[in-house]
Amino acid sequence: MQTPTQFRIDSLEELDRLISQHAEAYYTKTGEVFVCKNCGAEVQEVHAYISLHTTLFSNCAGSGKVKQVGIPYCPNCELTPNNRGCVHLNDLI
Ligand SMILES: [Zn+2]
């Protein structure tokens, strides 16, 4: 999947849910590893830093808080996810 950028979510749980939904849709577990449903390649992961921004401003602004998230991707079917992104939350924690 691609690293979310300026993606509006209601809570950080929604970010986790987006990742698991993508994984369920495109990957399948074989033994101990996840593989791509499309090509069978082993799913890779980028450790991305997601800045937590607020929807109070239209541009990217926030508390400076960052969450590290593993973004899964198929090396054949998907572009390597960016190692930086951001989400825009209504309530900054
Ligand atoms: Zn694939």
Instruction: Give burial (CB, 10 Å; 0-12/13-18/19+) of 47.
Output: exposed
Distance CA 80, CA 92 (A): 28
Predicted pLDDT of residue 58 = 83
**Cβ-Cβ contacts under 8 Å for 25 (sequence gap 6 or more):** none
How many angstroms does the Cα of residue 80 sit away from the middle of ligand 1?
12
Comparison of pLDDT for 20 and 57, the residue scoring more: 20
Neighbours of ion ligand 1 (CB under 5 A): 36, 38-39, 41, 74, 76-77
Polymer length of the chain = 93
Predicted pLDDT of residue 36 = 98
Please check the confidence at residue 3 and state whether its pLDDT lies above 90. Answer: yes
Nearest partner of 33 among 78, 75, 82, judged by Cα: 75
pTM of the entire structure?
A: 0.89
pLDDT in tens, 49-90: 999 999 988 889 988 899 999 999 999 999 999 999 999 998
